[in-house]
Amino acid sequence: MEITEVLRRGILTEESVRQQERNKFTFEVALEANKIEIRQAVETLFNVKVAAVNTMRMPGKVKMFRRRGSAPQRQEPREWKKAIVTLREGYTIDVLKA
C-alpha cells in the first residue's frame, strides 16, 4: 500500500484538539492499514518521530433514504478506521493544529 493511501484525512473534534496538547493527533486511515504502515506514513509525510500508534475500527451508521411514493430504503453501514498517533517530545504537526 502506498504511503499516500494510508492517511485519508486529519480529524478535528473537541476531543482530538484537547489531545493535541498531549502531542496526540487523530487521523482517518485506510481499513487495510496496520500500525507499522501508519507510523511510516506519518513519519515520512510530516517529518516527525512517532512514539506510539493506537488504532480503532469505528462502526458505520445505518442510513435511511425516503422518497415520495416509495418505501424507505436502507443503506448499509460503512465502517472506518481511525488512528491516534502519539509523537515524541519536541515534535508537532502544525497542519492539524486548531
Each domain of the chain, given as residue ranges in start order, spans 3-96
Give yes or no for a contact between 5 and 29, defined as CB atoms under 8 angstroms apart.
no
pLDDT of 88: 96
pLDDT of 3: 86
Query: Tell me: the pLDDT tens digits for 44-58?
Result: 999 999 999 999 999
pLDDT of 29: 97
pLDDT of 97: 66
Length of the chain: 98
pLDDT of 8: 94
CATH class, range 3-96: alpha beta
Give yes or no for a contact between 87 and 49, defined as CB atoms under 8 angstroms apart.
yes
Q: Which three cell numbers stand for residue 78?
A: 460503512
Low-confidence ranges of the chain (pLDDT < 70): 96-98
pLDDT of 39: 97
Distances (CA, A) of 1 to 6, 27, 30, 36, 78: 7, 17, 10, 12, 21
pLDDT of 98: 55
pLDDT of 65: 86
